Chain A
Amino acid sequence: MEKKENKRKFTSGKLLNLAPVIGMILMAAVFLAIAYMKDVNIPYSFKNILNQSIITMVVATGAVFIYTLGAFDISLGASMCVSALVGAMAYNRTGSLLIMLGVCVGCAVLVSLISSVLASVFNLPVFVTTIAMLSLLNAFALVLIKANGTGDVVQVPANAVRGINTVWFKLIVLILFLAFCIFAFSFMKLGRQEKFVGGNPICAALSGLNASKLSIIGFMMAGLGVGLGAFLTITYAPTLSRNTAGSVGMDVIISIVFGGMPVSGGARSRIYSAAVGSLSMTLLSQIMLMLNFDSGISQMVKAVIFLLVVYVSMLNSRKTILPR
Chain B
Amino acid sequence: MEKGKKILSAAALPVIVLAVCLLITSVNGITLFDSQLSWITFTRAAVNVLLVTYALSINLNSGRFDFSIGSTALLSSVISAMIATKYNLSPVLMLMISVVTGGLLGLLSGFVYVTVKLPPIIVSLAMALFYEGMAFTLTGGHGVSFASNAALMEFGTIPNFLIIAAIAAVMMIAVFDHTKFGYEYKALVSGQKVAVNTGIREVPNALICYLIAGLLMGAQGFISATSNGSITMSLNFGSISPMFMAFLPMFVGGFIGRFINDKFGYLLGAVCSALISLVYVRMNAASSTQQIVSALLMVSFLIYLNNEGKLKHLLKRS
What residues make up the interface of A, taking CB atoms closer than 8 Å to B? 72, 118, 122-125, 127-129, 131-136, 138-139, 142-143, 247, 250, 253-254, 257, 262-264, 294-300, 302-304, 306-307, 310-311, 314, 318-324
A295 CA to B129 CA in the complex, in Å? 11
Most buried by A among B251, B296, B303: B303
Is there a chain A Cβ closer than 8 Å to B174's Cβ? no
Our pick among B126, B235, B289, B294 for the contact of A307 (Cβ within 8 Å) is B126
Q: How far is the CA of A143 from the CA of B292 in the complex (A)?
A: 11
A128/B247 in contact, CB under 8 A: yes
Q: Are B137 and A300 in contact (CB under 8 A)?
A: yes
- For this complex, 6 residue pairs linking A to B, each with C-beta atoms less than 8 Å apart, are A131-B247, A136-B296, A300-B129, A303-B127, A311-B116, A322-B202
> Is the pair B134, A323 in contact by a Cβ cutoff of 8 Å?
no
Do A124 and B303 have beta carbons less than 8 Å apart? yes
- Check B196 for interface membership: any CB of A closer than 8 A: yes
The stretch from B26-34, B48-56, B117-125, B216-224 touching chain A is B117-125
In this complex, what residue of A is CB-closest to B306? A123
Interface set, chain B 82-122, CB cutoff 8 A to A: 112-114, 116-122
Is the Cβ of B303 less than 8 Å from the Cβ of A296? Answer: no
Instruction: Let me know if A123 and B133 touch, CB within 8 A.
Output: no
Q: How far is the CA of A318 from the CA of B141 in the complex (A)?
A: 38
B18 within 8 A of A: no
In the complex the two chains form, what is the Cα distance from A262 to B202 in whole Å?
A: 22
Are the CB atoms of A124 and B119 closer together than 8 Å?
no
> Given A135-B291, A323-B118, list of 20 further CB < 8 A pairs?
A123-B307, A124-B302, A124-B303, A131-B298, A132-B295, A133-B295, A136-B295, A139-B291, A253-B125, A257-B125, A264-B119, A296-B136, A296-B138, A302-B133, A310-B118, A310-B122, A311-B116, A321-B193, A322-B202, A324-B119
Check if B35 is an interface residue, CB within 8 A of chain A.
Answer: no
**Nearest Cβ in chain B — how far from A97, in angstroms?**
30
Find chain A residues with CB under 8 A from B113 CB: 322
Query: Are A307 and B136 within 8 A (Cβ)?
Result: no
B238-281: CB near A (< 8 Å → 1, else 0) gives 00000010010001000000000000000000000000000000
| CA A302 to CA B237, docked complex, whole Å | 13
B120 and A323 contacting across the interface, CB-CB below 8 Å: yes
Q: Is B81 in the interface zone, CB < 8 Å from A?
A: no
Bound together, the chains give a CA A323 to CA B113 distance in angstroms of: 9
- Residues of chain B within 8 A of A143, CB atoms compared: 288
Q: Tell whether, in the assembled complex, residue A296 and residue B126 are in contact, meaning their CB atoms are under 8 Å apart.
A: no
Residues from chain A with a CB closer than 8 A to the CB of B288 are 138-139, 142-143
Q: How far is the CA of A135 from the CA of B303 in the complex (A)?
A: 17
Tell me, rounded to whole Å, the shortest Cβ–Cβ distance linking B238 to chain A: 10
Q: From A323, which residue of chain B is reached at the shortest CB distance?
A: B119
Judge whether B136 and A295 touch: CB under 8 Å. Answer: yes
Residues of B within 8 A of A (CB): 62-65, 112-114, 116-123, 125-127, 129-130, 132-138, 141, 192-193, 196, 202-203, 206, 235-237, 244, 247, 251, 287-289, 291-292, 294-296, 298-299, 302-303, 306-307
Within the complex, the shortest CB–CB distance from B299 to chain A, in Å, comes to: 5
- Report yes or no: B129 in contact with A318, Cβ–Cβ below 8 A: no
Minimum CB–CB distance for A99 against chain B, Å: 28
Indicate if the CB atoms of A135 and B294 lie closer than 8 Å: yes
Question: A297 with B137: in contact, given A128-B302, A306-B126, A321-B192 (CB under 8 Å)?
Answer: yes
Nearest chain B CB to A43 CB, angstrom units:
29
Q: Which residues of B contact A306 (CB under 8 A)?
A: 125-126, 129
Q: How far is the CB of A163 from chain B (nearest CB, A)?
A: 33
Q: Name A253's closest neighbour in chain B (CB-CB).
A: B125
Asked, given contacts A306-B125, A322-B114, whether A132 binds B137 with beta carbons under 8 Å apart, the answer is no
Q: Are A300 and B302 in contact (CB under 8 A)?
A: no
Q: Are A132 and B299 in contact (CB under 8 A)?
A: yes
> Are B203 and A322 touching (Cβ within 8 A)?
yes
Query: How far, in angstroms, from A252 to B206 measured CA to CA in the complex?
Result: 28
Residue of B nearest to A242 (CB): B288
The contact of B129 among A122, A132, A299, A321, by CB within 8 Å, is A299
Shortest beta-carbon distance, A68 to chain B, in Å? 15
A10 and B165 alpha carbons, distance in the complex (Å)? 54
Question: Chain B residues with Cβ under 8 A from A296's Cβ?
Answer: 132-138, 141, 235
Contact A300:B247 (CB < 8 A) given known A294-B137, A311-B118: no
Contacts of B127 in A (CB 8 A): 303
Closest to B299 in A: A132
Instruction: For the complex, give the distance between the alpha carbons of A122 and B308 in Å.
Output: 10
Which of A125, A131, A304 counts the most B-chain CB atoms under 10 A from its CB?
A: A131
Residues of B within 8 A of A135 (CB): 244, 291-292, 294-295
A213 to B105, CA, bound (A): 42
Is B306 in contact with A122, judged by CB distance below 8 angstroms?
yes
Q: Which A-chain residue is minimally distant from B129 (CB atoms)?
A: A303
Closest Cβ neighbor of B139 among chain A residues:
A296
The interface residues of chain A lying within 8 Å CB-to-CB of B237 are 250
CA distance A142 to B295 in the complex (A): 15
User: Smallest Cβ distance from B189 to chain A, in angstroms?
Assistant: 10
A299 near B306 (CB under 8 angstroms)?
no
**For the complex, what is the distance from the CA of A254 to the CA of B202, rounded to whole Å?**
27
Query: In the complex, which residues of chain B have a beta carbon less than 8 angstroms from the beta carbon of A302?
Result: 129, 133
Which residue from B63, B133, B251, B302 sits with its C-beta under 8 Å from A303? B133
Given the known interface contacts A136-B295, A324-B62, the answer about A250 and B118 at a Cβ–Cβ threshold of 8 Å is no
A203 to chain B, nearest CB (A): 16
Q: A129-B299, A133-B295, A321-B196 are in contact. Are A299 and B116 (CB under 8 A)?
A: no
Taking the closest CB of chain A, its distance from the CB of B250, in whole angstroms, is: 9
